[in-house]
Chain A
Amino acid sequence: MSGDTADGGAGTLVGRRLLVCEDEFYVAVRLERALLDAGASVTLFASLAPALAHAAGEAMPDAALLDINLRGELSFPLADALLARGVPVVFLSGYDTATIPPTYRDVARLQKPVTLVQLTRRLGELLGS
């Protein structure tokens, strides 16, 4: 739990709207907690279909954090939809990152277990804050 301190990334994501897809409850809760602490607002999804519906809607997030495997479904279609609309994406994977197809070689990625400082810093970089 190194780096999981309250001021790990406090304030760096103030006012940002983030879409988070993670099917493991305890992981999702931690991500949500950390991002809320950093000042962001978070929309959380555990499966692909509702997240896809959300991504096609009008309220576009500023960035998205996507677990690659969502209850056996791969989140690549969601990444495609978001990237097509200019939303920066960070992949979060329990797999070796080698299993990510080469078409996503330019997409940011973090490998589980990820420290919350790493996470907020990476999102901050992507959003230019």
Chain B
Amino acid sequence: MPADGSPLDAFPASSRAPDAALHQHEMLAAFAELAILSEDIDRLLQEACDYVRRAVGADIVLLYRQSADHRSVEVRAGAGIAPALIGGSITRRDEQSLESRLLRDGEPVIVPDARDEPRLETRGLLRRFDQRGLALIPLRDGPGTPMLGLLHISTREPRDFSAEFAYLRIYASLVAASMLRIDALRRRGDERAARERSEWQLRLVLEGIPQLVWCAEPGAQWRWMGPQWTEVTGRDPDSSLGRGWLDAVHPEDAVAVEEAWGAAEARGIFEVECRIWHQHDGIYRWYQGRALPTAFELGEPTWVGTFTDVEDLRALEARQAVLVAELQHRTRNLLAVVEGIALQTMAAAASPEAFEASFHDRLQALARAQRLLSAGERLTLRHLLETERDALGIADRESLIVLDGPDVLLPSTMVQTLALVIHELATNSRKHGVIARGAGRIAIRWQVNVTADEAMLDLGWEETGDLPAPASDSRRGFGRELIERALPFQLGASSDYRIVAGAVTCRLHVPLGGAA
């Protein structure tokens, strides 16, 4: 069953004619050439079966290959049998059988008539295929080499293969040598494929990581860099080799880089932060450079290193430093305000009890203002006024206190002072005015007047009802101090604050732009 285009086509089936010996030698020579050149093991084994079958005029020729555990043999190729049988495997059971001895000791088997030989393990199989003359030749590349399997030659008629034994052994040796050679070829191919795969993975990592990767010899001499360097900096690789890469470092950081290299050997690590020029974008960005000495050659290390972009990280750190400084500033100012409120409240208080109550209320107002400020969202005047109105905690607050005005965003600098002002007006009302009596009306109205120069907030507190005239008090109250001095000082505002019988009015005129 030769494959298409087989060299075997040149040889007619043997007729055991007088020139049979010559014919056999020609076939062997042709097969030897095929065996030496072939790289396809399946094709070669099949050719071997076909050649042998024709060369000696056998009915069935099989090539068994021994399994790795030596427990079974597999039919790898065959001539004179149905192709479906190829691939089948036979497990050896009898260690003393002729087949076992062959596979163990390399002893060939020549049996003229299988019916007379009880030690054959494949006797049943031979009977099934009606085979009697049998030769089994070990497949090995020579004495001392591993036993690969066996070559089976059989005939329907009884036959003694002793005369052809030497000839068949040459076939078996050629097949065994080719099997070893092709196995080795495939192993080398597998190894190369594995190496290529592993190199590909390594390159994927080296070129895929977002760091700029490089190798250097001592003295900051680059001898290799990943493609990231060129992608990011726009510098071509050739001019960056050696000390060329240092041209991309910001001149102000050059000293730090040199110092880091100088200290690297003693420290066992190169570590520096420096700016690297991005040619594409025309900007410097901050990088953290790190390298470790590896792969010593003749005592000299190769430094394997990376540059990692830390620009955003540094910007974040800078922003945080500003925030911390701002927080310190606000905290200390807040303490100063608390101290100021305490002193002013004390100066105006008639008794320690009065101080305690007023001071507590004012701290609460201050705390509400801080909450509004730290909420982070844009704060409107209405929101601030509603917060103060709700803080009064009275049931009919919405009928007593009317808010009327447009949405105005408050600059954060205004929030604290304005909240305290509203708190003082409400406190006064709770002691003497509309809120105390639960009758009358407080109208808080505001509007924004925009002139060419600036936006002014006009805010009015109109409290009307059956209110007594205020008792004359020589001390300037906290609220009046706040409205008449703090507001103008702090916010550049002007104010008009009057308390008469039947009415409390406070009109504020606050620049919105200038105070922001």
Interface pair A112/B489, CB less than 8 Å apart:
no
Contacts A46-B490, A71-B413, A94-B333 given; indicate if A26 touches B328 (C-beta within 8 A). Answer: no
Binds B, one of A7-15, A27-35, A82-90, A117-125: A27-35
Contact of A1 among B333, B339, B492 (CB under 8 A): B339
B360 close to A (CB within 8 Å): no
User: Which residues on B sit within 8 Å (CB–CB) of A95?
Assistant: 325, 328-329
Bound CA span A44–B492, Å: 13
Interface residues of A in 39-55 (CB under 8 A from B): 44, 46-47
B336 close to A (CB within 8 Å): yes
Interface string of A93-108 (1 = CB under 8 A from B): 0111001000000000
Interface pair B341/A94, CB less than 8 Å apart:
no
Bound CA span A96–B413, Å: 22
B101 close to A (CB within 8 Å): no
User: Which residues on B sit within 8 Å (CB–CB) of A96?
Assistant: 325, 328
Looking at chain B's contact residues, is the secondary structure mostly helix, strand, loop, or mixed? helix
Contact of A23 among B335, B340, B490 (CB under 8 A): B490
Contacts A71-B515, A95-B325 given; indicate if A27 touches B333 (C-beta within 8 A). Answer: yes
User: Which residues on B sit within 8 Å (CB–CB) of A27?
Assistant: 333, 336-337, 340
Contacts A46-B489, A71-B413, A71-B515 given; indicate if A26 touches B336 (C-beta within 8 A). Answer: yes
B378 close to A (CB within 8 Å): no
Interface size on A, residues (CB 8 A): 21
Q: Which residue of A lies closest to B343 (CB)?
A: A30
User: Which residues on A sit within 8 Å (CB–CB) of B206?
Assistant: none
Interface pair B337/A112, CB less than 8 Å apart:
no
Bound CA span A94–B334, Å: 10
B332 close to A (CB within 8 Å): yes
Contacts A28-B489, A71-B413 given; indicate if A113 touches B328 (C-beta within 8 A). Answer: no
User: Which residues on B sit within 8 Å (CB–CB) of A80?
Assistant: none
User: Which residues on A sit within 8 Å (CB–CB) of B343?
Assistant: 1, 26, 30
Looking at A26, A29, A69, which has the most chain B CB atoms within 10 Å of its CB? A26
Interface pair B336/A24, CB less than 8 Å apart:
yes
Q: Kindly provide the distance from the CB of B407 to the nearest chain A CB, expressed in whole angstroms.
A: 24
Interface pair B333/A25, CB less than 8 Å apart:
no
User: Which residues on B sit within 8 Å (CB–CB) of A29?
Assistant: 340, 485
B14 close to A (CB within 8 Å): no
User: Which residues on A sit within 8 Å (CB–CB) of B485?
Assistant: 25, 29
Contact of B341 among A26, A47, A113 (CB under 8 A): A26
A-B CB contact pairs (8 Å), 30 listed: A1-B343, A23-B490, A24-B336, A24-B337, A24-B490, A25-B417, A25-B490, A26-B337, A26-B340, A26-B344, A26-B486, A27-B333, A27-B337, A27-B340, A29-B340, A29-B485, A30-B336, A46-B490, A47-B492, A69-B329, A71-B413, A94-B329, A94-B331, A94-B332, A96-B328, A112-B332, A112-B336, A113-B332, A113-B335, A113-B339
- List residues of chain A with CB under 8 Å of any chain B CB: 1, 23-30, 44, 46-47, 69, 71-72, 94-96, 99, 112-113
- List residues of chain B with CB under 8 Å of any chain A CB: 325, 328-333, 335-337, 339-341, 343-344, 413, 417, 485-486, 489-490, 492, 515
In addition to A95-B328, A96-B328, 12 A-B residue pairs with Cβ atoms within 8 Å of each other are: A1-B343, A24-B337, A24-B340, A25-B490, A46-B490, A46-B492, A72-B413, A94-B332, A99-B325, A112-B332, A113-B336, A113-B339
